[in-house]
Structure 1
């Protein structure tokens, strides 16, 4: 959530940033927000003035009573009570204006960083790096949804029977490979200084609001019936909310956390190659890394997170590319975001496996996540997160890119975790 003072001081800059993000209501929302803020401040001023008059009169009442001027004291007492009553009536109006302002601020996206490229959609994203050596498969190579049937490692039909489409069963060597990937990702995060945390996968409404999943992504989340609880779309939500409403000391920063959780997404797509097999699921596993930092070092931390994710993909020996997302494709919450994609040789397409984002103070303002610096000044922290990594598409690329006549060769870095070198 943008800070109202920043919008008040920089309306033109805010509108330009929102337009870069292709936010169609930029002028309208900024104007409406500033007008509501003006009304809120005017109401607050009126209430403060009324209470100040009432307090001033209250001080006179005691003096008049001591002087024996009872009738004059009673008259002033009535006048003071009148001011207090009017101030009380303004409390409801003030509360309404504050709620209206918060609601408007929730609807305004974060501003893009200066390094975010211009563009309207994914076609305009800038490729920062791309592997040179791409895998070459035989004409008989199979896409992963046929490989998993051939080797009987994932069962989509059983998932459909037990739950529904997009909830697969992993079994045998497929389950072991999943567990190997999770352990590998968590160990890599631990070696990079991230504290492993196993959070709940159900959060309340305040948590979803805090990290920006609500109200922007409400249609993408599973809500529990008869509860204001949501299944998490990513471990980012519970991990970042650990510090909601907290004032940290500067010495505690940076805070680096890693969490492995199942993730739940309602918007798993419709029909076609883009959503076949593991390409898009309603439930999937992911290791997430999160940082809370001082503003001055957050982009250094962002670069470190990008390098960490890149190192994992390299160790898996997967061809990959890194994209700098353009204004029209970057998320509602992010100020700057790099996407990682691995190449699926059998499908002949790139699959997104990670996004590493810097939210600057956007989430922290919603969360009231602050820190006290060495000068005892309290200010908002910066929050960052990245997938390190999401499992389904990584698994799809491993299966497809490493298929041979004898079976699927497991990347060397995973073999000790799996307990086998080839899946056949």
Structure 2
């Protein structure tokens, strides 16, 4: 890989670039792919692990093709596998293992099981808004409560476990500034707790009488223990890895998405009034906000063969960074890409949930959670506005684009 001195590429990893990468993406898109991007994959430990040096893809067509071609762009992450952090399930798995894992997980993590949370969310969110109150309020703590509590309920864990979920996710996903020792300790605590919970569920499952029909009532961990496809079952280690994946990939990204959606409601009063009158528009609003300000910004892949992209040769074994956040604002695909437009005809082409083999398994759960929030907020507050305080963006890692503190005026 030829080194690069493109200033915009170097600025991407600064706090200012992480907080607002979109102008930099615009400068880099025509140069894509750009060599020499240095950063850490999720789950590694800056200060203990070395950053990778990668080709960076910023154009929609390039990111889309790389995301769908898992044979050429592998999701396996040898750096994370060698790290002290746990390796994620599905996210860092290639075929044929990926298909087997996904079938087993999907059997337990079913649409019906997710749908069962709908009524519970309908009661939880208004209760949390009661506690939030009105006036100038900071909404990110509220935003974090929904996905973490939902994950605890889904997995069948004790009340209170959700308090640690956000801290674990922030540490793993590099969106909080920690020492290497603090990050390693957080990862070890997370894996240890899930191993304990799995042992408890295994013991309870063994006590059930054969033939008991428990599917409608059982939690996700128990369902994962029972899942079987063609005689294959998930190992205890795989179940722990999936629980870790749900926490770090599900709770944090949904928290950040809720924050970005609430900010969009506040800065787009005419659109908010339109959606208040017609809630069928909320799905398009979620899709368009994910395109414009989707939390996931980039993921890494590794080339399994020499491949030409944009007239440049990426060699076998070289790292490749797929910038979904840049692809989602490519003017060749999305007209006026910096404008939130819920009527754009290709609104579902956004890539924040991934594409192809690695399309987000938790997409239905995330949508259920954010729609519960949006409906409850629109029901409760007649006015949703920006405060004078602009809040604070996440500046620790370009993995996500998000607020860590967001004051809004609610009345």
TM-score (norm 1): 0.22
Greater C-alpha radius of gyration: 1
Higher helix share: 2
Q: Which has the higher contact order (CA 8 A, sep 6+)?
A: 2
Higher strand share: 1
TM-score (norm 2): 0.22
